[in-house]
């Protein structure tokens, strides 16, 4: 893989809102890092609720001086949850400057077309080229394979008012203050990807390395890197190592997103992941989406000072 050195500018503040995730709990309390969404207004409990699903969508805003930039990272699973929650959270979608997709699976792309039709201006859509590959399958132990829904179709995307940025190498957005990693180098021995993922290429069925997996990286002034994964099919440790290598910044301040440590194929590497994260010492650690209950429980035990339980509607403020 070609290695690029990326000059990622600093930001003064980062705000990350969980538009959708697997879990919602209206009784969680605020901390100095996270503000939970209100469940009452004007002395009345709300009549509608935020929705959760097996998907992920994060609204990310970076601030530098008086300037700010907002992007959307992933768009959830179905066509209902993300648009509904954007309304509940009173998000002005016209303020979104770009959409980044972590990879091509349906639980990260589900409401994309609805949002593109809703945003009233031309914006970049950043994907890895392999996110457009189809068909893709999930292999079963008995030899059968399940077809992934194809949600990203190039002709349909190009018919929208977007700038399609399909590239393997890193991209800079938000006045060079948010980096999209592009394809992540895989250097750890224990992060081996999704063993039962298959794809068709050139008419032949082969293992799908999910090379389209990519993450976001932000340089928080005086604190270090903030790394935000979607599913981290490349491995969350690989992702952080690549963020360090690409930016030249060693210090890791926060790690958020899906770490894909759920299920029998991934639970055996929970402890190795924890050991490597301990070496990096993030001050904020927020596992989401596909991390899985067993891994989340272990993170809460091993990182008591930095772990935060995510919930839909949570606002993380990093300064």
**Banded model confidence at residue 80, pLDDT cuts 50, 70, 90:** very high
Sign of CA dihedral 278, 284, 259, 166: negative
> How many Cα neighbours within 13 Å face the side chain of 102?
34
Q: 118-137 as b/e, with b when 16 or more CB fall inside 10 Å?
A: ebeeebbbbbbebbbbeebb
78/107 Cα distance (integer angstroms): 7
What local confidence, expressed as pLDDT, does residue 1 receive?
43
What local confidence, expressed as pLDDT, does residue 238 receive?
98
- Give residue-wise pLDDT tens across range 170-186: 999 999 999 999 999 99
Alpha-carbon distances of 149 from 25, 77, 107, 138, rounded to whole Å: 29, 11, 10, 11
State both tokens at 309: 């339980």
Lowest-confidence region among 37-41, 67-71, 171-175? 37-41
DSSP state letters, 174-185: TTTTEEE--SPP
Tokens 């008086």 sit at which residue?
Answer: 66
Based on its alpha-carbon atoms, the radius of gyration of the chain, rounded to whole angstroms, reads: 19
**Is 150 within 8 Å of 199 (Cβ atoms)?**
no
- Give residue-wise pLDDT tens across range 193-219: 999 999 998 889 999 999 999 999 999
What local confidence, expressed as pLDDT, does residue 120 receive?
80
283/305 Cα distance (integer angstroms): 8
State both tokens at 229: 């994964």
**Banded model confidence at residue 3, pLDDT cuts 50, 70, 90:** low
- Higher-confidence position of 230 and 5: 230
User: Can you list the domains of the chain with their CATH numbers?
Assistant: 10-318 (3.60.15.10)
150/8 Cα distance (integer angstroms): 33
Average pLDDT of the residues in 147-167: 93
Mean pLDDT of the chain: 96
**pLDDT > 90? residue 309:** yes
- Give residue-wise pLDDT tens across range 217-241: 999 999 999 999 999 999 999 999 9
Cα 208 vs. chain centroid, distance in angstroms? 20
Average pLDDT of the residues in 285-305: 98
- Give residue-wise pLDDT tens across range 241-265: 999 999 999 999 999 999 999 999 9
What local confidence, expressed as pLDDT, does residue 206 receive?
95
What local confidence, expressed as pLDDT, does residue 2 receive?
44
Average pLDDT of the residues in 100-114: 97
What local confidence, expressed as pLDDT, does residue 184 receive?
98
Alpha-carbon distances of 40 from 50, 201, 295, rounded to whole Å: 12, 51, 32
125/105 Cα distance (integer angstroms): 15
């Amino acid at each position: 893989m070609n290695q690029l050195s990326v000059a990622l500018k600093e930001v003064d503040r980062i705000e990350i809102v969980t538009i959708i995730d697997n879990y919602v709990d209206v009784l969680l309390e605020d901390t100095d890092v996270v503000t939970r969404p209100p469940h009452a207004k004007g002395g009345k409990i709300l009549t509608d609720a935020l929705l959760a699903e097996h998907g992920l969508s994060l609204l990310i805003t970076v601030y530098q001086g008086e300037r700010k930039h907002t992007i959307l990272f992933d768009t959830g699973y179905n066509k209902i949850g993300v648009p509904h929650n954007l309304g509940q959270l009173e998000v002005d979608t016209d303020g979104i400057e770009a959409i980044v997709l972590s990879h091509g699976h349906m639980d990260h792309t589900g409401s994309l077309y609805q949002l593109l039709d809703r945003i009233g201006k031309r914006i970049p859509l950043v994907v890895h080229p392999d996110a457009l590959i189809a068909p893709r399958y999930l292999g079963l132990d008995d030899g059968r394979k399940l077809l992934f829904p194809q949600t990203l179709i190039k002709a349909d995307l190009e018919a929208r008012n977007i700038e399609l940025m399909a590239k393997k190498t890193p991209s800079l957005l938000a006045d060079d203050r948010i980096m999209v990693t592009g394809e992540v180098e895989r250097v750890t021995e224990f992060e081996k990807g999704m063993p039962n993922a298959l794809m068709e290429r050139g008419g032949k069925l082969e293992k799908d390395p999910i090379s389209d997996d990519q993450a976001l990286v932000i340089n928080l002034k005086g604190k270090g890197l903030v790394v935000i994964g979607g599913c981290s099919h490349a491995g969350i440790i690989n992702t952080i190592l690549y963020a360090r290598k690409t930016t030249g910044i060693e210090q890791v301040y926060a790690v958020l997103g899906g770490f894909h440590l759920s299920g029998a194929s991934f639970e055996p590497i929970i402890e190795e992941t924890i050991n490597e994260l301990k070496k990096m010492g993030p001050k904020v650690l927020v596992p989401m989406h596909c991390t899985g209950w067993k891994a989340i429980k272990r993170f809460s035990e091993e990182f008591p000072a930095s772990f935060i339980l995510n919930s839909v509607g949570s606002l993380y403020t990093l300064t």
